[in-house]
Amino acid sequence: MIKKWYFYASLVVIITFLSLGFIPSNHETKPWFLIEKTDGSEYIFPSKEKNDYPNTNVPFTGNHLIGFKEAVAFKESQGQYRLVNSLGYMGKYQFGSKALRAIGINDNKAFLKDPALQEKAFIALLAKNKWILRYEIEKYQGKIISGIEITESGILAAAHLGGAGSVKNFFKNKGSRHFRDAFGTSLKSYMRDFAGYDLSFIEADSNATVND
């Protein structure tokens, strides 16, 4: 009888101890991702306020070269290295065969399968277009043409869309003739949407290739 009493008493103690472990603590804890503003106020990230998020179709990754690359890539292909569109433009940055040949790439299939090569190709084309459009960049940067503030990155983005020749014609005609690609995307929209990135890292090079 005494042994049974000890058994049941021990069982009650064990159950009580285990139950206490599941009682919520009343201690106040700081939530994760607590952001403190410079004015001393605080908010939780991600924010529940819609106004805290910019209304943009392009993810912002900074205003330097990496930001420019990813913004253009998102616009062109949503960052898909193996995408080929209905007109045959290829890869993350949607290169045409002519542009690839200009920077020393002759094997389209190998290009499509090689992400590292695609990244090198984008840099090489930027360097080549920066050389071709060096006078336009120097002359028109900071000016307003056809309602667009002209920047170096906007010019180079437009060249990626329509070619350096189309950009030269845009300035030659003071923005009065608007180039659009087969899908209706305008040169002006690229100059506007990709303005203000710092591409000083890219050196103008008339002979830029992926082998540099």
Following DSSP, what letter does each residue of 136-166 receive, concatenated? HHHHHTT-EETTEE--HHHHHHHHHHH-HHH
Q: What is the pLDDT of residues 86-139, one digit of tens each?
A: 989 999 999 999 999 999 999 999 999 999 999 999 999 999 999 999 999 999
Domain boundaries, the chain: 65-193
Residues in the chain: 212
125-163 burial, b at 16+ Cβ within 10 Å, e below that, comes to bbbbbbebbeebbeebeeeeebebebbbbbbbbbbbbbb
Pick the CATH number of 65-193 from 1.10.530.10, 2.40.50.100, 2.40.30.130, 3.40.630.40: 1.10.530.10
Can you tell me whether residue 44 is helix, strand or coil? strand
Residue 168 has what pLDDT?
Answer: 94
Q: What is the pLDDT of residues 1-50, one digit of tens each?
A: 555 555 556 655 566 655 555 544 444 444 434 444 444 444 444 444 54
Cα dihedral across residues 166, 84, 67, 124: positive or negative? negative
Calpha distance 180→161 (Å, rounded): 9
Kindly write down the DSSP assignment for every residue of 53-65, as one continuous string: S---SS----SSH
The pair phi, psi for residue 23, each rounded to 5°, is -80, 125
Whole-model pTM?
0.70
